Each structure stands twice: as structure tokens, then as C-alpha cells.
Chains A and B, each alone.
Chain A
Amino acid sequence: MPLDAAVMERPVKATVKAQPLVDVRDLSVKFVSRESTNSAVNGVTFDLMAGEVLCIIGESGSGKSVTMRALMKLLPPNRTKISGHMRVGAHDITKMSESDMRAIRGSQISMIFQEPMTALDPVYTIGDQIAETVMRHEHCSRAEATARALELLQLVRVPSPERRLKAYPHELSGGLRQRAMIAVALSCKPDLLLADEPTTALDATVQIQVLVLLRKLQQELGMAMIFVTHDLGVAAQIADKVAVMYAGRIVEYGRVSDVLMHPQHPYTLGMLASTVHGNMRGQEIEAIPGSPPDLRRPIQGCSFTPRCKFAVKDCLQASPPVVQLDNGQYAACIRAGKGAMPAAPQA
């Protein structure tokens, strides 16, 4: 896939020529069942520097969550075929055994989920669950671990943390539960935090609190974060870089301001145009017609072609080239960088 080549040749712009913390190359994930093979991720390549936030934006079925679960090795091994390279820090994820993986899960890579109720164990108190994780990875005493749990609850700004240590997950409100899950995830100071739509199920007034908190924590602790979301507004709030996924591929990548304000791929542009806001009242919304392709069938050419208003004959012939712009932005579209795309609507 051409995107790999382009990204591999990408000049490292950081002042220090540091190695990226996360390096994913040509990752493909296929779900195999007796009846069909679902190519959920088709050659995804990206890297992430320590202390950076990457937002993977995509709609359901775009492969964004699968990409992240592959990085954590959380996919069922007997039904999944993974190819490509994944490296986090010094660890080659692709080659790691399950027991080695267990050792770095929670300590170097942590994950938070959309629904904390399923990620937290209902029969243990919040304090016990945080202490448990701390003890498992740092081999300290229970008293030390409990003290650390209290610190962590303070860190995630849980009000009256002493009381909450003894609370069970169902006794907490949605926002507090999400904070507790973040505390569990941060308990061993991970280098990389994976976040799978952690604010989607929250109310608007709570979502903004959690987003602001995550951003602050990420900066205070200097950790890198990969944040999966379908909401462009969330990406605008929290990301340094964004990768837009469609049909298992990254179709556009770049700095958040570049991608959201000057999108180069018609899909990104369509997403922006179809996100509703108030000053569109009374007008027809420019919706992207149709629906995403069925990934159980082979796709020829650009997978967005059937829904693209700029489609031409060439789009169906071959995979689109990855066009690189001077600002580090990339788009997998034959029109990218030609400047013929209308500017994004100002929100």
C-alpha cells in the first residue's frame, strides 16, 4: 500500500531526532469465520511520538477500534489474522507472547473503554481494584498500594476520594466511574494510554469535564495517547494529530488543525459538512450519500468512490496514491493537494 512508503519516508520534524514511541506499519487485521472473511483493517501505518495525542476518527466499521485492540493484542487469536509490524517502546508487539503481553498491559500500555461498567469489576471496591493493579505490577504492600490508590483518585479529581475508595462501581455516577477507570489505567504510569471512545456514553456537561481532565493528565504525566472517536468535536478538543479512517484504511493524516480546517480527502470534508451545527438551520445538510462498503468483499480502487461527489473514472482503477503536503499532512486521494477542494465550513 502506497501509504506505507510515504509515511516511512516521512522526515522526523522533532528537534531531537527521537524514535517514535509507537510504530505501526502495514497493519492488517482479518476476521475469519467459516462463512466469510472480514478485512477490518487494511494496511494501516502510523507512528506516534512520546507525549503526543493521536485521534483516530472514523465511523462504525471503519476499523478504528480494531486497530487499537490489535495494538493491545486483545483480539481473539483463533479467529483473527494479523499481519504487519507493531512496536511500542522497545517491545515488538507482533512477536510477543501472551504472558509477556500481560506484563506490559496496565504498566506500559493502558486502556480505557467506552463503558466503565464492563471494565470495572462489580464485586470489588474502586480502591481494591486500583490497589490490585498497583500491587500486581509494582509488587508493593497493600498499604502502599492503597495509599497510591488514594493519590490516583485525587489525581483524577474525584471529590471526597477517601469515601470513594470504599465505593463499588454501581454506587458511582457515570462520570465518576469513568474517572475511576482512568485512575485504574494510570495506576502504573503508562507510557501509552489507549482510549476507546471513553466519553461517548457520557452527558455533554460530563464529557467536557473528562476531556479536559484527560488532556491535563496527559500533559502532566507526559504520556502518549491514542484516542479513538467518531466525534470530530472531541478530536478538535483533545488531539495533536488525527488519522481519519475509512473502510479499514487511514485516508487522511496530519495535525489536527490542518486536517479539520483544511481537509484534503473528500471523506473528511464530507464528515465535516454533515456534522450539524446551528447556523445550518433551514438548509439541507450536505450528507454523504450511501453507506460504507461491505468489508467482506474485495474492493477495487478507492473504497470511498461510490459515495464521493468528486469521483472520476480513475478512482475505480487502482488504490489512490498517498499525497503528501509540506505541513506533514497526508491524504489517500488523487485530488489531494490540488487545492480544488472547497474550504471547510467554519464552526
Chain B
Amino acid sequence: MTDVNALLADFAEKEASPPVRGYWSSVANRLRYDYVTLFFLAVILLIVLISVFAPLLAPFDPTKSSMAYRMKPVGFRNFVLGTDELGRDMLSRLLWGGRTSLLMGLVPVALATFIGGILGVLAGFLGGWVNTAIMRTMDIFYAFPSVLLAVAISGTLGGGTKNGMVALTLVFIPSLCRVAESATTQVRGLDFVEAARASGASTLSIVQHHILGNVLGPVFIFASSLISVSILLGSGLSFLGLGVEPPTPDWGLMLSTLRSAIYVQPLVCALPGVAIFITSLSFNLVSDGLRQAMDVKA
């Protein structure tokens, strides 16, 4: 009988030892097989690298104009992607413009995630009048369409990159706060939080150890889906003359100033739009992929 027992022990050992894996590493493992997401993640990385190294990559000074070379088509002499209405090199402007667009996409979302997240977790965990106060205030902001709100805020604050970011941050705080609040409310009622309370833990300790880890996921997913929105809104603000100020290269601003030349050089005029499209699409698809990978029933 001993060899049977040895066999069985071996069997039990194999049976009982699946690879030990944390939540985030299992997310990473799922992402590994998601080629679409990986591809667009690579695209985003490329855009980031290009923006970071724009000064090295740009063949010309993006702000140097030349009346002689206005509105030249794609592939005209050294201007690989043509020139704009002031004769500035399109390629250089697009490369530099990525910087402002990415900043416009990432900074407001990051700030709003931080502020909205804190407010949402507070409202969700404390409940009662704190919840009512925070959430009703958010509802007031939420009642306005986001574009209108962004325009109104940056209109009040005045133009400029910094003010544009502040406006976008304010626009995103309510929705992020809502997501954080609903996730917190959900987690707060679960048995393991009750168990933590039953062990005599303080509110702060429970939030830190049991709430945050479970709320961060959904908040993070939602925030990642806002990046593309932020890029679009930022471009929109610049297009309206409320965000980035000339002559700083920015995709939205470029689209705005080039629109009068749409019948002269349609291809050149469309380039900033294409850049915005590719960037926001990439962020959007990566966010979708992340959501799928993170949607594991734990």
C-alpha cells in the first residue's frame, strides 16, 4: 500500500499547488494575451517617447515661420509633412504638439483622480450628511454638459495651458468622485469590512487596508477612459482659443488655425486631427483592455 500512498501524496501535492499569484500579476498575465491592447499600448509608448524627445527629433524649429513657404503640400522639399499657414514645418509642430496634448490628457485626469477619489471615498465610507454634502455639490457640477463647463471655467479663468488644465480637472472631479463613492459604498457593506470592524479597527485603518485596494481598481479603469476625453476636450479648448496660446504648438490649436486652409491643402489640414484621433483611440482601447483584464472575479 505504501506506493499507493506515495502516488496519492504526489497527486495531492500537485493538486494543491497552483501558482500563487496576486491580483495585479494575474491582471498582467491576462493582458499578455490581449494583443490588441498590447499593440495600442505600444502606440501610446511611441507617442510618449516622440513627445519626450521632440526637441531631438524635430527637423525644424516649430515656431519659426517663413512667408515664402506657406501652405506647402506633404513632401515639399525638406518639409516631410508640408507647412502651415505661417510656413512652419508641420512635422516639427506635430512632434512638439504631442507634448501639450499628452499633458492636457494626463495631468487633469491625474489631479481629478486624486481629488475626486479622496472625496468619493470619504463620502462613501462616512455616509450620512458628509455624503449628502459632497455628493449634492458634485451633482450641481454634473448637471452641466462637460464641454460647456470646461468652456465656462476656462473662459472665466482666462486662456493658457495652465488654466485649461485647471478647467479640465474641475470638469472631471465630479464623475470620478461618483465612481469612487459608489465603489466605496459597495465595498463598505461587504463581510470582510464588517469583520475588520468586528476586530476593533479604526476607520482610518479600515479605509487604508480594506477599502482603498478595492476601490482603486474601478477608479483607475474609469480614469483611464477619461484620458482620451481629456485630450479631446483640451484640443477643443485650444480650438476655441481658450487653452494653449499661440505660438505654442498644440494639435487642437493647429486644427483651428488650419481650418481656413482646408480647401487649399486638405491633407496637411487633417494631420493634427489624425494625431488627436490616433492618440485618443489608443488610450480608449487600452482602457477597454485594462477593464477586461481587471474584471476578474476575485
Contact = CB atoms under 8 A, between A and B. Distances in A.
Decide whether A and B are members of one complex.
Answer: yes
Given A305-B8, A311-B8, A312-B4, A294 B30 contact: no
B18 A313 contact: no
A305 B8 CA distance: 8
Given A35-B33, A294-B18, A305 B3 contact: no
B7 interface: yes
Interface in A21-60: 34-35
Interface in B1-51: 1, 3-4, 7-8, 11-12, 15, 18, 29-30, 33
A77 interface: no
Interface residues of A, number: 11
A321 to B, nearest CB: 19
Interface in A51-108: none
A306 B12 contact: yes
Interface in A296-341: 305-306, 311-313, 316
Contact of B15 (A306, A311, A312, A313): A306
A34 B3 CA distance: 37
B8 A306 contact: yes
Q: B-side binding surface: helix, strand, loop or mixed?
A: helix
A282 interface: no
A316 B14 CA distance: 14
Nearest to B3: A313
Given A34-B33, A35-B30, A294 B15 contact: yes
Which of A305, A306, A313, A316 counts the most B-chain CB atoms under 10 A from its CB?
A306
Given A34-B33, A35-B33, A313-B3, A293 B15 contact: yes
Interface string A262-300: 000000000000000000000000000010011000000
A178 to B, nearest CB: 27
A312 B3 CA distance: 9
A35 B8 CA distance: 27
A306 B11 CA distance: 7
B296 to A, nearest CB: 11
Contacts, number: 25
B7 A313 contact: yes
Interface residues of B, number: 12
Nearest to B11: A306
Nearest to B12: A306
A34 B30 CA distance: 9
A35 B30 CA distance: 8
B67 to A, nearest CB: 58
B29 to A, nearest CB: 8
A167 B8 CA distance: 57
B298 to A, nearest CB: 16
B12 A290 contact: yes
B165 to A, nearest CB: 39
Contacts of B7: 313, 316
Contacts of A313: 3-4, 7
B263 to A, nearest CB: 48
A313 B12 CA distance: 15
A35 B29 CA distance: 9
Contacts of A311: 4, 8
B26 to A, nearest CB: 10
Contacts of A35: 29-30, 33
A234 B285 CA distance: 50
A306 B10 CA distance: 10
Nearest to A289: B12
A343 to B, nearest CB: 25
Contacts of B1: 312
Interface of A: 34-35, 290, 293-294, 305-306, 311-313, 316
Interface of B: 1, 3-4, 7-8, 11-12, 15, 18, 29-30, 33
Closest 3 CB pairs of A and B: A34-B33, A313-B4, A306-B11
7 contacts: A35-B33, A294-B15, A294-B18, A305-B11, A306-B8, A306-B15, A316-B11
Given A290-B12, A294-B18, 9 more contacts: A34-B33, A35-B30, A293-B15, A294-B15, A305-B8, A305-B11, A311-B8, A312-B4, A316-B4
